[in-house]
Structure formats: structure tokens, C-alpha cells
Amino acid sequence: MSNEREISTSAKIKHLAKKIVDEIKKHENPSLNIPVRSLSNVHFNETKSIIELGKAVQKRNFFNVSQAKKFMQTLLIASACQELLKEGKTTSIRDLYYMTKHTLGNTKQNTFDDQTESDPIIEDLEVAIDALREELNLFASNRGALVGNIKIEDSGDLINCAKMGSGGWSVPSIVEKDVVKFKEVKANFILMVEKDAVWRRLNEDKFWKKHKCILVHGQGMAPRGVRRLLYRLVHEKKLPLYVFVDNDPWGFYIYSVIKQGSINLAYESQRMAVPSARFLGLSSFDREKYKLPDNVTIKLNDQDKSRAKQILQYPWFQKKGWQKEIKEMLKSGVKLELEALSAKGISFVTEKYLPEKIKKNQYLD
């Protein structure tokens, strides 16, 4: 183990294991307490403005025919993570599946038959010991990049994000404090863009230089590494965060996951959600405001419409501005991609749209 985070996560696993050893010694039925991750135990915390896990906990017993296998699997995953932490190595959840898959004794019974079995067990372990998978040295796929007025130390290497050429710094999946350190931040805000193509337009136009900001993209839905990084930047450096997504229900959803977290992974919200995030666009009202030609709009399909109606009901979209926004989309019957702004000129987004919106505080939150 090379750092405090690994030591502390490892201690949490040890604590879990110790409880079980104690129960065995006392001839009790060994058990694990696992917070329930189903919808019934998820709610929107109005005060904190994040989607949270409730207090319901499920007991997983060793002496229980229907629970014994999962009990064993949970300990197996915990033990593999403990190994990773000890060696100071990180790996993917796919790799962890292969590391822990084996056939039991002389039976034909495998510990896991495929990865769909091991993934939920990892989530169980995360909630059981209150540690993100990244804290367990598990990484997800790398996606997203960053440029701007910030120097970052990544695994001991100092990276000047103002000198990263056209590609930018590839945001790693694990951005915990021991891996990623913010060394010098000279930015006034963070701009998070859904699409890498638009991010590259902004990077090429040196938007971040002129407007002193940090420019991030997540290549679609923001991956965990990017969300955790945004969380850390906002909390540690007190920077405002603007989000710039397609004008469709999917874009709105990407924004809301960054802001409030998601229902599926509610237990992560407290360490990933950024309730202060601001939605900059594309707004359904931009079409008229910027006189975008009709032929760049795309008709809402049935899926879009039902998704829009669905998010209209979400507690975290109840603010007046958002209700107006979503209703306008449904009324107009069309959606817009970020690239639609290029119909007004290739650098319209850099030179007019974004600076104006930011200057005039034209955002939804």
C-alpha cells in the first residue's frame, strides 16, 4: 500500500472481515449488512439537492441456501480488492471478474459464470463498506479530456493542461487525491461539454485561454472519472460549473446526472454529484433567440417524447425554468444537436453563443 486512501479502504475491508470472523468464533450465522440499492430505497434529498440512498439494509447470511453463493462471492471480491490495495495496483472490473473466477474443488460450479454476476457484487461491496469502486482500486473505461488553465499532478507526473496540444489531458478513471492533485488553478469557471467534437472546436479556438476556464468533455454521458473530477474541482477550488449539452431529453439527463446523480448509482451521489451545476444550453428557446434555420432541427421521435414526459415528472426537474424548458421542447416537437450552431458559422459557438450566455447569466440551475 502506497498511500492513505489505500490504507483506509483496506481497513474498511478488514473491519468487514473481522465481523465475520467474530461471528464464526461465536458460532453465529456469519452475515453481511448490505444497504438496499433498489428504487424503493432511493430518494431525492431536497436539502442537499442530490439523489440519495435511504437507510434500508439487507442481511446476507452464510447459512441460507439462497444467500450462501452471494455471500461467498462478496467475500471473494472483497479479498481480491484487498489484494489490489495491498499491491498498490489498479484494474478493471472485467479483469477482476477473471481474477476471481475459478471452479470450486472437483465440482463444475464456478465462482462466477459471467461478469453480470460479479459487477453487482462490486456495487454491494461499495455500499457495504462505503467506498467508491475507485477507492477499491477498480477503474472504469477511460473517457473524457481536459484542457485549460490548470496544472495537475497525475501519478507523480506534472501535467500543464494549458500545453496539451489538440488532444488534451485524458481524464483517468481514478482521480482520487492520492493519484490526481490540483497544483495550480488559474480559472474562473469550468465548462463541461457533452461532445468531444464541440470541445475540440472550443480548444482549437482557445476558448479556455480567452475566458480563463477549464474545458472538459465526457464523450457523451460523463464517465465516473470526469464526474468525480468535476466534484473535486468544484468543492476544492470553489469554481462554478457550466454544462453544455444537446437539446434533447438525453442531454438534459446528462446534465441532471452531473448535478444530482443517478437513480441506479444513488450511493455515489454524495461523492460525485455537483448540485451547483448550471445548464447553459442548448435550450429549446435558443432556436428562436439565435434564429437557427428550421432545417437543422430534428423531429422528436416517440422515445424522445416519452422520455421528455418522464423527466418532466422527476422531483429534480420541478423548478419553474425547467418545466418551461421541457414543455417548450414537447410543444415545438423538435430537438437540436450542439453542432446545429455551426449553421451560423463554424466559430459562432466560441465567439458569440457561449460568451454571451455566460456573461448574461443565461443559465438554468
Q: Which of 293, 315, 321, 333 binds a second copy (CB under 8 A)?
A: 293
CB 245 within 8 A of CB 255: yes
Burial annotation 313-349 (CB, 10 A radius, 16+ → b, else e): ebebbeeeebeebbeebeebebbbbbebbbebeebbb
Grid look-up 464517465 returns 223
- By CB under 8 A, which span of 10-18, 96-104, 259-267, 302-310 interacts with a second copy? 96-104
Q: Which of 75, 81, 129, 145 binds a second copy (CB under 8 A)?
A: 145
The question of whether 98 is a catalytic residue gets the answer yes
Q: Which of 15, 18, 94, 212 binds a second copy (CB under 8 A)?
A: 94
Q: Which of 25, 27, 163, 331 binds a second copy (CB under 8 A)?
A: 163
- By CB under 8 A, which span of 10-18, 90-98, 256-264, 275-283 interacts with a second copy? 90-98
CB of 210 to a second copy, least distance (A): 16
Is 91 an interacting residue with respect to a second copy (CB under 8 A)?
Answer: yes
Strand partners, 335: 298
Is 5 an interacting residue with respect to a second copy (CB under 8 A)?
Answer: no
Is 84 an interacting residue with respect to a second copy (CB under 8 A)?
Answer: yes
3-state secondary structure of 265: coil
Is 306 an interacting residue with respect to a second copy (CB under 8 A)?
Answer: no
Is 337 an interacting residue with respect to a second copy (CB under 8 A)?
Answer: yes
Cell for 142? 477511460
**Of the residues 98, 242, 253, 267, which is catalytic?**
98
CB of 218 to a second copy, least distance (A): 12
Chain centroid to CA 44: how far?
A: 17
* Residues numbered 201-230 forming contacts with a second copy, rule: CB under 8 A: 201, 204-205, 219
* Residues numbered 64-83 forming contacts with a second copy, rule: CB under 8 A: 83
Is 102 an interacting residue with respect to a second copy (CB under 8 A)?
Answer: yes
In 3D, which of 17, 37, 20 has the Cα closest to residue 29? 20
Other CB atoms within 10 A of residue 310 CB? 13
CB of 319 to a second copy, least distance (A): 31
Provide φ and ψ at 83, rounded to 5°: -60, -50
Per-residue binding letters, 26-65, with a second copy (x by CB under 8 A): ----------------------------------------
Q: Where are the alpha helices (DSSP H) in the chain?
A: 4-25, 68-87, 93-100, 115-129, 196-204, 207-210, 224-237, 249-260, 269-272, 286-289, 302-313, 320-332, 348, 354-359
CB 124 within 8 A of CB 112: no
Closer by beta carbon to a second copy, 64 or else 347? 347
Is 320 an interacting residue with respect to a second copy (CB under 8 A)?
Answer: no
Q: How far is CA 170 from CA 150, 175, 190, 236, 242, in A?
A: 14, 11, 16, 21, 20
In 3D, which of 72, 41, 70 has the Cα closest to residue 55? 41
| Amino acid sitting at position 354 | L
CB-hemisphere CA count at 13 Å for 43?
Answer: 9
- By CB under 8 A, which span of 119-127, 192-200, 264-272, 316-324 interacts with a second copy? 192-200
Contacts with a second copy by CB under 8 A lie at: 83-84, 87, 89-92, 94-95, 97-99, 101-103, 110, 139, 141-142, 145, 152-159, 163-172, 174, 179-180, 196-197, 200-201, 204-205, 219, 293-296, 337, 339-340, 342-343, 346-347
Task: List residues with catalytic annotation.
Answer: 98
